[in-house]
């Protein structure tokens, strides 16, 4: 076992993976600050003489390592060591950044592709005579680097915590009357059918499900996995969702379930889940309308199989449990602002359904 202590922290404008540039080379001029721990400040002597620094840091938001990944720049899977993907067995990141200014133990840097709050493991000076190579071959990147500047992190390597609560109504009319912003904030409608798998997993608080979504005449299939609820007031769960409509080569959900390295598609998902011992035990269907209001995602769910046939869900997402607990407080204030506290149902739809199963 090796253990390293961070020597500092990296500050950047990027608060979450989604939307962050995928390399420093595609983050021209993005400014950040390295706050080096005071106990390491003496180690910065002479650093101002360098225009560029090599930063080694810990991808602290990555959840599961994966040996085969679908990187941002390609739709084909590649071995993790042939990529710069964050989901590495040792989650070490490497960026060459520009040094703009040294101010005591603060280093002002540019070209930052790193998320705010990332623990810094090491700084090395970039030395062209050591670090620039000629006759370089860049493997599978060669036919994909043209996508560099237009590609951003889409959040695929981090789990996100959903923070959600829901309130019940007798019908849609009652919901629109009680939630004043609802009707004008819902913009999308779709029909869904969701099957849940692995009764033991479900009883242990996890949720494994496959959903078929119909929007107009377009059908998509997703599968997803939610971790146990860690919410104090509402539901907070680590959530992973993956679209499998056209088949997925290196499924991150399958990797986190320690499943076999096989492609996952709508026509083999049952078989893949059965091979892991997860059989289908429940399914239900309904219609959703979705939208957002003041940064809160909204969902109006009409599902006749549930004991509460009309539910309005309020949801936020967070990268870390600490952020999720803050958002839980914000959601509580949101619910209180509209006088909806008495209508809150903490249990999620699959639990409500299971407790009333089979539906009458
Ligand atoms: C493909 S990785 C490459 C990073 C680095 N330049 C490298 O080659 O090791 C780039 C993505 O890592 C993500 N990232 C940066 N800091 C992170 C952190 N602390 N935890 C998880 N992901 C992070 C960002 O969203 C960024 O888009």
- CATH code assigned at 214: 2.40.320.10
Residue 87 belongs to some domain of the structure: yes
Q: For residue 340, what are the CA distances in angstroms to 96, 166, 327, 331, 353?
A: 50, 10, 17, 11, 23
Residue-wise pLDDT tens digits, 9-48: 999 999 888 889 999 999 999 999 999 999 999 999 999 9
Ligand 1 contacts CB of residue 22 (under 6 A): yes
149 alpha carbon to ligand 1 midpoint, in Å?
15
Cβ(17)–Cβ(53) below 8 Å: no
Cα 57 to averaged position of ligand 1 atoms, centre (Å): 9
**Boundary-marking domain end, from 129, 150, 171:** 150
Question: CA-CA distance, 126 to 133, in Å (whole number)?
Answer: 13
Does the CB atom of residue 301 touch ligand 1 within 6 A?
A: no
Tell me the per-residue pLDDT of 130-189, one tens digit each, with 9 for 90 and over.
Answer: 999 999 999 999 999 999 999 999 888 877 899 999 999 999 999 999 999 999 999 999
The last residue of one of the domains, among 125, 150, 175, is 150
Query: Is residue 115 within 6 Å of ligand 1 at its C-beta?
Result: yes
Q: Which of 119, 150, 181 is at the close of a domain?
A: 150
Residue 326 in domain? yes
Are 252 and 209 members of one domain? Answer: yes
Q: Give which of 87, 90, 99, 118 is closest to 9, Cα–Cα.
A: 118
Q: For 96, phi and psi rounded to 5 degrees?
A: -100, 115
Ligand 1 center from residue 213 Cα (angstroms): 31
- Give the count of domains, the chain: 2
Query: What are 310's two structure tokens?
Result: 């009309």
Same domain flag for 249 and 131:
no
Which residues constitute the domain of residue 251?
A: 160-355
- Our answer on whether the CB atom of 162 is closer than 6 Å to any ligand 1 atom is no
Same domain for 305 and 192: yes
Helices (H), the chain: 128-131, 172-178, 182-185, 199-203, 252-256, 269-275, 321-337, 349-355
Phi first, then psi, for residue 332 (nearest 5°) are: -60, -40
The alpha carbon of 26 and the centre of ligand 1 are apart by a number of angstroms equal to 12
- Read off the pLDDT of residues 258-271 as tens digits, 9 standing for 90 and up: 888 788 999 999 99
pTM of the model: 0.70
Find, among 55, 61, 50, 51, the residue nearest to 14 by Cα: 61
Residue 32 CB contacts under 8 Å (≥ 6 apart), including other chains: 10, 11, 12, 13, 97, 108, 109, 110, 112, 114
125: CB partners within 8 A, 6+ apart: 47, 50, 52, 53, 54
Q: Is 30 in the pocket of ligand 1 (CB under 6 A)?
A: no
Read off the CATH number of the domain in which 45 is found: 2.40.30.70
User: Which ligand 1 atom sits nearest the alpha carbon of residue 14?
Assistant: 25
142 with 112, same domain? Answer: yes
């Amino acid at each position: 076992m090796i253990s390293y202590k961070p020597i500092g922290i990296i500050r950047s404008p990027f608060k979450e993976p989604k939307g962050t540039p995928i390399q420093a080379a595609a983050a021209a001029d993005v400014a950040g600050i390295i706050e080096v721990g005071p106990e390491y400040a003496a180690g910065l002597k002479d650093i101002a003489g360098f225009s560029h620094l090599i930063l080694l840091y810990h991808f602290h938001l990555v959840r599961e390592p994966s040996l085969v990944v679908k990187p941002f720049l390609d739709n084909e899977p590649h071995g993790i060591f042939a990529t710069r993907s964050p989901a590495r067995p040792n989650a070490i990141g490497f960026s060459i950044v520009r040094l703009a200014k040294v101010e005591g133990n603060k280093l002002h840097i540019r070209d930052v592709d790193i998320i705010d709050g990332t623990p810094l493991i090491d700084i090395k000076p970039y030395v062209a005579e050591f670090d620039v190579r000629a006759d370089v071959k860049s493997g599978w990147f060669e036919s994909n680097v043209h996508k560099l500047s237009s590609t951003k992190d889409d959040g695929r390597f981090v789990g996100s915590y959903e923070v959600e609560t829901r309130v019940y109504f007798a019908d849609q009319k009652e919901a629109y009357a009680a939630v004043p912003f609802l009707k004008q904030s819902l913009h999308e409608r779709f029909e869904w059918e969701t099957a849940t798998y692995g009764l033991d997993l479900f009883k242990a608080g996890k949720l494994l499900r496959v959903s078929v979504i119909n929007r107009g005449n377009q059908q998509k299939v997703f599968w997803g996995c939610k971790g146990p609820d860690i919410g104090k007031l509402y539901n907070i769960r680590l959530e992973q969702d993956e679209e499998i409509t056209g088949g997925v080569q290196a499924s991150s959900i399958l990797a986190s379930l320690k499943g076999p390295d096989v492609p996952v598609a709508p026509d083999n998902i049952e078989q893949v889940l059965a091979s892991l011992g997860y059989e289908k035990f429940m399914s239900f269907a309904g219609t959703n309308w979705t939208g957002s209001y003041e940064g809160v995602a909204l969902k109006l769910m009409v599902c006749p199989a549930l004991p509460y046939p009309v539910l309005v869900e309020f949801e936020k997402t967070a990268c870390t449990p600490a952020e999720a607990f803050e958002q839980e407080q914000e959601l509580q204030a949101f619910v209180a602002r509209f006088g909806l506290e008495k209508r809150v149902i903490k249990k999620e739809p699959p639990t409500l359904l299971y407790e009333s199963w089979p539906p009458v």
